[in-house]
Structure 1
Amino acid sequence: MRIAEVLRKKGSDVATISPDATVTELLAVLAERNVGALVVVENERIVGIVSERDVVRRAHERGAAILSAKVAEIMTTDVATCDPAETVDHLTVLMTQRRIRHVPVIDNGRLCGIVSIGDVVKNRMDELEEAQKQLQAYILQG
Structure 2
Amino acid sequence: MRITDVIRRKGAEVVTVRPDHTVSELLTLLAEHRIGALVVSRDGASVDGIVSERDVVRTLHTHGAAVLDMPVSDLMTAEVTTCGPDDDVEHLMRLMTDQRVRHIPVVVDGSLHGIVSIGDVVKHRIDELQVERDQLVGYINQ
TM-score of the alignment, normalized to the shorter chain, above 0.5:
yes
- Give the letter aligned to residue 33 of structure 2: R
Sequence identity, in percent?
A: 55
Aligned equivalents of 2:65 and 2:40: distance in 1? 22
Query: Which runs of structure 2 are paired with 1:35-114 in the superposition (5 Å)?
Result: 35-43=35-43, 44-114=45-115
Aligned equivalents of 2:18 and 2:29: distance in 1? 11
Q: Which structure 1 residue ranges, 5 or more long, are not aligned?
A: none
- Give the letter aligned to residue 88 of structure 2: T
Secondary structure at the residue paired with 2:77? Answer: coil
**Where does residue 13 of structure 1 map in the other structure?**
13
Equivalent residue pairs, number: 141
- Give the letter aligned to residue 19 of structure 1: P
- Give the letter aligned to residue 31 of structure 1: A
Cα distance, 1:109 vs. partner? Answer: 1.6
TM score, norm. by length of structure 2? 0.97
Q: Point out 4+ residue stretches in structure 1 off by more than 3 angstroms.
A: none
Q: Which structure 2 residue ranges, 5 or more long, are not aligned?
A: none
Kindly report the root-mean-square deviation, in angstroms, between the aligned alpha carbons of the 2 structures: 0.7
Secondary structure at the residue paired with 1:80? Answer: coil
TM score, norm. by length of structure 1? 0.97
- Give the letter aligned to residue 71 of structure 2: K
